Amino acid sequence: MSPVNNNPTDSQRHDARYWRSIDALVSTPEFIERMRQEFPDANPRELTQLGRRQFTKLMAASLALAGVTLSGCRRWPEQQIRPQSSTTEGFLPGVAEHFATQFELGGVATGILAKSVDGRPVKIEGNGLHPFSQGAASVFAQASILELYDPDRTRGYTWRSDATAGNGDPTDSSASGETGRVVSRESFESVMSSNFAALAKTKGRGLHVLAQSNSSPTFAQLRQKFQTAFPESRWHVYQSLDRDAEFAGSRVAFGKVVRSQYQLQNARTIVCLDADLLGMHPGNLRWSRDWAAGRDPNSGVYSRLWIFEAGYSVTGAAADVRQTLLPTAMPGLVRAIAGGLGLHSETSSLESSLQPIVDQVVAELKSSGSHSLLVAGPSQTPEVHAWVHAIHQHLGSAGTTVSYCDEPQVEKKSCVDAFAELSGALRGGAVDTLLILDGNPVYDCPADLRLELTGSPNRRVTSIHLGLYENETAQQCTWHAPIAHFLESWGDGRAWDGTYGVQQPLIHPLFDGISAIELLSLATGQAVKDGLELVRTTAREQFRMTDDRAWQTLLHDGALPDSQFAAVTTSSATLPTIDQDGRQAGSLSHDGFEVCFVGDYSTWDGRFSNNGWLQELPDPLTKLTWDNAALISKQDADRLQLSNGDGISVRLGDGAWLPEIPVLIQPGQTPGAISLSLGYGRQTGHISSGVGIDIGVLRTSKNRYFVRGAAVTKTGKWTELACTQEHHLMDAVGEWGMRVRVGERDKPGTLVRETTLQKHRQDPHAVHASFHSPKPAPMFDAPDQFNTPSAWGMSIDLNKCTGCNGCVIACQSENNVPIVGKVNVLKNREMHWLRIDRYFKGEVDSPDVVHVPVACAQCESAPCEQVCPVAATVHDTEGLNAMVYNRCVGTRYCANNCPYKVRRFNYFDYHASNPRAPAQPWLGIPDEQTAKIVPELVQMGFNPEVSVRMRGVMEKCTYCVQRISNARIQARNEYAEGKRPGPDLADGEVVTACQQACPTQAIQFGNLNDANTEVSRSHHDNRAYAMLEELNIKPRTRYLARIRNGAGGTGSGNERSDNHGHI
Amino acid sequence: MATFDASTMIAAPGYSAAQVNDPRTRVPLVLGDNNFTTVTDKVTGLALRPAPIGWYIAFSVALTLLSLLLVTLVYLLTTGVGVWGNNNTISWGFPIINFVFWVGIGHAGTLISAILFLLRQNWRTGINRFAEAMTIFAVICAGLFPAVHVGRIWLVLWLAPIPTTQAVWPQARSPLLWDLFAIGTYATVSLLFWYMGMIPDLATLRDRAKNRLPQMLYGFFAMGWTGSNRHWLRFERAYLLLAALATPLVLSVHSVVSFDFATSLIPGWHSTIFPPYFVAGAVFGGFAMVLTLAIPARHWFGLQDLITHRHIENMSKIMLGTGLIVAYAYSVEFFMAWYSGHHYEQFVFMNRPLGPYWWAFFVMVFCNIVAPQFLWIRKVRGNVWLVFVVAIFVNIGMWFERFVIVVTSLHRDYLPSSWAMFQPTWVDLGMLLGSFGLFFTLFLLFCRFLPMVAMAEVKTVMPQAHGESTTHRRDYQPDPDTPKRLRRGHWWT
């Protein structure tokens, strides 16, 4: 209320200097009277004077309008409008904003962009300004948006009396017998402050902390402060997928632990030794990008990727030469390679069948010289890692394909030792207070080490668990505090190469969570408790972010340029002593199976297992969803008379026993090796509990990644496994049909084109073989070219696609694609708009793999459009095959007539259904189901730019039409403002979600009208082909054939011998 | 001769087998000691006297199945079309199979009533009424499935060209829209044809009804029919016109239904042979269903004199003939797949007999091709119950034919990554059974309350209509099924 009232009063009116109208100035009594009426022309007596006939006419007309057209009686979902009286800076309602932040996994941060609409983060994308990840995003980072809005997240600070009757009752220690009492954050903080203050007096004796690897400088600094404040406390770092052997190998070679930085674009020969460089490696996004950069078939240099591995990995699928090998045979193989290169003169103990491929590798490494790169996986022994370092040094690769920096993650003790120490301390009663900073050690600890949180009867342990979920560990702890999600809290971290970046929150903690750094600062009794201040202090002190502008720039870019770890020069590598024991062991490998424990492409080590998107994400190789299985070779399966889904039990020599796990026959699996993936068989979580089998019981502290001598027996139980491809075993006719379509090894098929580099260089059209489709004669002139003002098109380079699934999750997140649950995956009703078809070629023991991402190809002559009776799918002027969800009645004819089968039908209201249970009847108005059943929390994660489809509606890819529309609006506005010469979109202004996420930039999208766009160039590449072109449907998506660079140039031959690496 | 010899039975003494079908000496179409009164008595008796207990048993079974249909429909509506086994690859499953199956059934009725009428095939009079009724009810069952198979059943009216506020009209290139018009027209004309042909008989029922309510209802629907010459003149002219109108529809409807498949680009569907093949298949399946209904009905309702063995035999011959067309179509499909040199097409036709649905293919082949061949044998045609068995086989086979077309073509189309199998759910099976419930409920109601045989038409083909004597008919054609008691009054008794 302004203190001075400037409104003219009646008395002032005639003297007013300002007036609104002549009438206002004149203000006759008639005018005032007229102003008073709401409907000036309405005659109130008209109604009462209505005759019967007139009345009936009017009523009939209104009824007709309301009822007969069926539009008046419709009840639309209720909506609420909230005023935004004071807005935040840069905020426009409904306009998406992007914030740079970071995603931390396994001790490595990845720069990401989080898209926020109206204050809600809705999508994770890669940060193009990040020097390391360069705009790509992993499935885990992208799926974390679903984690943020997971209804299972812990919603309060819980104190549990039954877990441990330790001290730390927030209110009254006499009040017992109550479980899971929820207290406020304030009470939690006050209890923690007093607890830790008391502990500080005893220098922290009996205080243990269990943390995970973490790249955050702030965290590291607080850890130091913590250890200063509590000098007698112990700090343990444990993570399930540890890199202990890698560190140990580096110690052997160089006497210190270094981290390898690869330059794959410089490498001509890449040899992966059980290393999933393009898949599970923390730096995989960058390695994928660089690997793809070194494989342009039109340039002179083309790298060759060799891999020796037990189970099929993403890297194995991308490899030019893949050799199956038992994990225990790896040291022998590396020794043989090293021997071949002249590093040592020990006689090779390698199995003779492997000698030819070793000779080939050696010859090639010699010829590539410093352009060689070897990578050993974290699962391999220190010896293998040490040999790799030695070979690099021998070949002079350091500086060309690999460089080193100090490893920041290294601890005094290995993960297993640290955990063993904690476990021993707990058993020995030396622990009073245990602070668990995130993680789920009760679930993922080594099988022989238990985390006895209940303590001994006479000594009580106060355990404090900080985590997103009330998981297995939280349930055993005295305290469980919700951790603030990374999208809700401040933090920082360093990428694999050391690039420093800041994690900034996009939303207030939904459940009042506390971040790990805030809790540590609280525990150490620091004055600064706010995450932002903690992070800023680190930035100021360690990265000289003194002025505000630099800080703002850092926040904007998400990463500090040139903040990589300093490269270190290494001393000359010490050759590892040849482990005679290992060689002996290798010769015994025929006794029983070797079991490999691998991180999972969907759940990592189990931390993502409550994420529905990831559970339903088909494994890149097995295409398995909602389960893990024992991957077994065809040869072994035949021997044990196993078929897919048959249960086996696995017993190890030390007595560890996995009673039941279904098998899945995996082509290319090493005979004698069984791969088991981590992260399943969880006991908590609505999504995760009971999905798959917990294989942790076999994984002891000594056998972290593989173990020999497993006895496998068939149990007789059968589990149905939900694979999105090959729902049933193929028969002879089906194989005949597939062979023509997918092609023989190294030869193109009708659908999947490929050839070898040598053949490609001889004949650029070799990829197409005889499959050039005849130019179809059109029956009539096309009514439209669908090219005004742009002609959208896409190209997918099969030579670059690794099948990493990044695009699949990007699409799911961008387009509000629901998950359907195992029941419906089994019925072949998965909803992914973009799927990655995986085909094996060649022999079942050592097949080639090809990945083909398939989404709607936006056919110009779309078969789906012709058959829709209600015109719900139609073409726009730019060639998009648009889907009008509101018009769709669901005849599904379009899906039948789609030769690519990319249309997805909502058989149920999947968003409103429990993915773990069959759909339930809904008695309300059908299209209100989503709005009424889906929790508001989950609704927050929907992308508001894309309709959430109800049941009975067909859906499919539309080349991210919402992104095209956004870019067009932006361009038109800029044009109107005179900022650009025309309203047309330039190349790269529209980036589809899949394109954005792709680490290898295999997907290109843009305007085909312009011959200079990336996509136009791709479309005219000599490798380009349109799948099913012969149907005359004129698809707008074209594929670029894969070029394999098999050894010897022929791409087939002795490198794919049937041997499997027994030494 | 102790054993049954059909040739001697059919050719009456003094007549050679060739003479039986000689128009001058052709045996009458109505057998037994019947005159106009007995025909009227027989037919109206079913409608006006209390129903036999058997009718109630049959009706309760039909009602049970109908209620299964209703239960599954409610479940479908409230939960979503995912209650069926359909999936991303096989987007059409049982509902469309059932739809095509029922539409096919509906063909025989109009063929009998329109085409045979125009071709002066007077033997049609005995069976045309309930064949037409069967058509109407089959079309009702057929119409149900496309309506409920859509994802948003409550918006199915968008397929109809009605003005709505959206100002969007249906998409005229879609065969589903053509279906709507084809079936809509067919259902309308068939209903009109059936109802119009029934008016004189409804008037008879009105006149014979004893109670007020039936009198009023039959009277209402008889539309004041008095049987005057003027009425008959106009009736017959209108009947002829409607028959002419209905004749092209017999060919058009299933042709249009086949366009659902033929205009698509799915191998196994995309085929120019589909329209004639579907029409032949529909007539084949339709006659099988007429036989399936007629054989028990004439037995239970004592209509052997009106629906004689000759009717059964004629229908068997039509079934055999159309079955041969169907067999030819099957083989031509294989030939064309080979001849096209088109891998995808060839694959589909290899996959049918050798792929995972080989059993469905061979059920189809056995029921539709092998089983009807027995009808070449006069002995088989001479035994109505053997004909009945063949008809049942054909019914099953025709359902499987649609299963083979819909499911095996879709389950392995172009991209092997999307290949899948189809697993029907209890709802799928429940709705298939339930549709039979709907069909039989309507059919039993028809048997009970409406004239099952076209009395007025039958009378026109009786000898009495041509001034012949009712006694001592030497031209009697003994029907092998005619019970002894009905053989009374003939020259040999």
- Nearest partner of A655 among A613, A608, A702, judged by Cα: A702
- How many Å lie between the alpha carbon of B407 and the closest alpha carbon of chain A? 11
Task: Nearest by CB to A738, from B78, B156, B416: name it.
Answer: B416
- How many Å lie between the alpha carbon of A922 and the closest alpha carbon of chain B? 5
A-chain residue closest to B146, CA distance: A891
> Mean pLDDT over all residues of chain A?
84
Partners of B180 on chain A (C-beta within 8 Å) are: 869
Ramachandran assignment for B306, one of left (phi > 0), alpha (psi -120 to 50 degrees), beta (any other)? alpha
Cα A673 to Cα A634: distance, rounded to the nearest angstrom = 11
Q: What pLDDT, on a 0 to 100 scale, did the predictor assign at position A1062?
A: 34
A-chain residue closest to B422, CA distance: A827
Q: What pLDDT, on a 0 to 100 scale, did the predictor assign at position A413?
A: 85
Minimum mean pLDDT among A107-121, A524-538, B133-147: which range?
Answer: A524-538
- How many Å lie between the alpha carbon of B351 and the closest alpha carbon of chain A? 6
- How many Å lie between the alpha carbon of A191 and the closest alpha carbon of chain B? 50
- Nearest partner of A568 among A289, A255, A133, judged by Cα: A255
Q: What pLDDT, on a 0 to 100 scale, did the predictor assign at position B37?
A: 78
Task: Nearest by CB to B412, from A732, A737, A867: name it.
Answer: A737
Minimum mean pLDDT among A27-31, A269-273, A729-733, A908-912: which range?
Answer: A27-31
> Which pair of tokens denotes residue A834?
């973009």
Would you say residue A128 has pLDDT above 60? yes
A-chain residue closest to B147, CA distance: A891
pLDDT confidence tier of residue A1040, bands split at 50, 70 and 90: very high
Q: What pLDDT, on a 0 to 100 scale, did the predictor assign at position B469?
A: 53
Q: What pLDDT, on a 0 to 100 scale, did the predictor assign at position B307?
A: 81
At residue A992's C-alpha, the angle toward residues A986 and A994, to 5°, is 145
The DSSP annotation for B377-405 comes to: SHHHHH-HHHHHHHHHHHHHHHHHHHHII
pLDDT tens-digit map of A463-506: 899 999 988 888 888 889 999 999 999 999 999 998 999 999 98
Q: What pLDDT, on a 0 to 100 scale, did the predictor assign at position A588?
A: 43
Partners of B80 on chain A (C-beta within 8 Å) are: 906-909, 919, 951-952
State the pTM of this model. Answer: 0.86
Partners of B347 on chain A (C-beta within 8 Å) are: 733, 736-737, 740
Cα A126 to Cα A139: distance, rounded to the nearest angstrom = 11
Would you say residue B121 has pLDDT above 80? no
Q: Is A734 in Cβ contact with B412 (below 8 Å)?
A: yes
A-chain residue closest to B416, CA distance: A738
Q: Is B82 in Cβ contact with A829 (below 8 Å)?
A: yes
Please report how the helices A355-368 and A330-340 are oriented relative to each other, as an axis angle in degrees rounded to 10: 50
pLDDT tens-digit map of A621-670: 999 999 999 999 988 899 889 888 899 999 888 788 889 999 999 988 99
Task: Nearest by CB to A919, from B79, B176, B419: name it.
Answer: B79
Partners of B417 on chain A (C-beta within 8 Å) are: 725, 835, 837-839, 852, 854
Minimum mean pLDDT among A793-807, A961-975, B48-62, B357-371: which range?
Answer: B48-62
pLDDT confidence tier of residue A27, bands split at 50, 70 and 90: low
Partners of A66 on chain B (C-beta within 8 Å) are: none
Would you say residue A778 has pLDDT above 60? yes
Task: Nearest by CB to B265, from A726, A871, A899: name it.
Answer: A899
Q: What pLDDT, on a 0 to 100 scale, did the predictor assign at position B101?
A: 92
pLDDT confidence tier of residue A1016, bands split at 50, 70 and 90: very high
Q: Is A951 in Cβ contact with B80 (below 8 Å)?
A: yes
Mutate which: A827, A887, A914, vs B, most B CBs within 10 A = A827
Q: Is A867 in Cβ contact with B176 (below 8 Å)?
A: yes
Partners of A895 on chain B (C-beta within 8 Å) are: 88, 91
Partners of B341 on chain A (C-beta within 8 Å) are: none
B-chain residue closest to A1028, CA distance: B414
Q: How many residues are present in chain A?
A: 1063
Partners of A903 on chain B (C-beta within 8 Å) are: 88
Cα B429 to Cα B84: distance, rounded to the nearest angstrom = 9
Task: Nearest by CB to A750, from B151, B152, B343: name it.
Answer: B343
Average pLDDT over residues A974-990: 90
A-chain residue closest to B261, CA distance: A897
Q: What pLDDT, on a 0 to 100 scale, did the predictor assign at position A100?
A: 92
- Nearest partner of A273 among A299, A246, A240, A301, judged by Cα: A246
Partners of B423 on chain A (C-beta within 8 Å) are: 827
User: Which of A348 and A683 is assigned the larger pLDDT?
Assistant: A683
ipTM: 0.88
Partners of B174 on chain A (C-beta within 8 Å) are: 866-869, 893
- How many Å lie between the alpha carbon of B102 and the closest alpha carbon of chain A? 19
pLDDT confidence tier of residue B5, bands split at 50, 70 and 90: very low
Mutate which: B157, B176, B177, B265, vs A, most A CBs within 10 A = B265
A-chain residue closest to B355, CA distance: A733
- How many Å lie between the alpha carbon of A266 and the closest alpha carbon of chain B? 36
Ramachandran assignment for B32, one of left (phi > 0), alpha (psi -120 to 50 degrees), beta (any other)? left
Would you say residue A992 has pLDDT above 90? yes
Residues 6 or more apart from A200 whose CB is under 8 A from it?
A: A229, A230, A525
pLDDT confidence tier of residue A431, bands split at 50, 70 and 90: confident
pLDDT confidence tier of residue B485, bands split at 50, 70 and 90: low
Q: What are phi and psi for residue A723, nearest 5 degrees?
A: -100, 145
Find out whether B384 and B316 touch, Cβ atoms under 8 Å.
Answer: no
Q: What pLDDT, on a 0 to 100 scale, did the predictor assign at position A1054?
A: 35
Mutate which: B178, B415, B423, B426, vs A, most A CBs within 10 A = B415
Average pLDDT over residues B100-118: 84
Three-state secondary structure call for residue A851: strand
Q: Is A827 in Cβ contact with B85 (below 8 Å)?
A: yes
Would you say residue A393 has pLDDT above 60? yes
pLDDT confidence tier of residue A587, bands split at 50, 70 and 90: very low
Cα A735 to Cα A741: distance, rounded to the nearest angstrom = 10
pLDDT tens-digit map of B63-90: 999 999 999 999 999 999 999 999 999 9
Mutate which: A839, A859, A891, vs B, most B CBs within 10 A = A891
Partners of A866 on chain B (C-beta within 8 Å) are: 173-174, 263
Strand partners of residue A271:
A306, A374
- How many Å lie between the alpha carbon of A645 and the closest alpha carbon of chain B? 17
Task: Nearest by CB to B155, from A751, A854, A889: name it.
Answer: A889
Rg (CA), chain B: 24
Mutate which: B73, B414, B425, vs A, most A CBs within 10 A = B414
Q: What pLDDT, on a 0 to 100 scale, did the predictor assign at position A179?
A: 58
Q: How far apart are the first and last CA of chain A?
A: 89
Kindly report the number of other CB atoms within 10 A of residue A874's CB atom.
Answer: 16
pLDDT tens-digit map of B198-254: 999 999 888 888 888 988 999 999 988 988 899 989 998 998 898 888 888 888 888
Q: To the nearest whole percent, how much of chain A has pLDDT over 90?
A: 32
Looking at residue B25, what DSSP letter applies?
A: T
Report cis status (omega within 30 of 0) of the bond before B424. Answer: no
3-state helix, strand, coil in chain B (%, to 5): 70, 0, 30
Find out whether A731 and A1019 touch, Cβ atoms under 8 Å.
Answer: no
Would you say residue A4 has pLDDT above 70? no
Task: Nearest by CB to A742, from B159, B165, B416: name it.
Answer: B416
Q: What are phi and psi for residue A210, nearest 5 degrees?
A: -115, 115
Q: Is A868 in Cβ contact with B174 (below 8 Å)?
A: yes
Find out whether A524 and A533 touch, Cβ atoms under 8 Å.
Answer: no
Q: Is B82 in Cβ contact with A908 (below 8 Å)?
A: yes
Partners of B177 on chain A (C-beta within 8 Å) are: 869
> Mean pLDDT over all residues of chain B?
83
Cα B64 to Cα A55: distance, rounded to the nearest angstrom = 49
Would you say residue A1035 has pLDDT above 60? yes
CB pairs under 8 A between A and B: 205
Q: To the nearest whole percent, how much of chain A has pLDDT over 70?
A: 88
Q: Is A828 in Cβ contact with B87 (below 8 Å)?
A: yes
- In chain A, the largest separation of any two C-alpha atoms, in whole Å, equals 116
Average pLDDT over residues A929-941: 89
Rg (CA), chain A: 32
3-state helix, strand, coil in chain A (%, to 5): 30, 20, 50
Average pLDDT over residues A917-938: 88
Q: Compute CA distances B473 → A600, B21, B27, B459, B478, whole Å.
A: 91, 17, 10, 17, 11
Average pLDDT over residues A370-386: 90
H or E element that contains A1029 = none
Task: Nearest by CB to B355, from A731, A867, A909: name it.
Answer: A731
At residue A609's C-alpha, the angle toward residues A606 and A612, to 5°, is 165
Minimum mean pLDDT among A258-262, A584-588, B292-296: which range?
Answer: A584-588
Partners of B265 on chain A (C-beta within 8 Å) are: 863, 897, 899, 1031, 1033
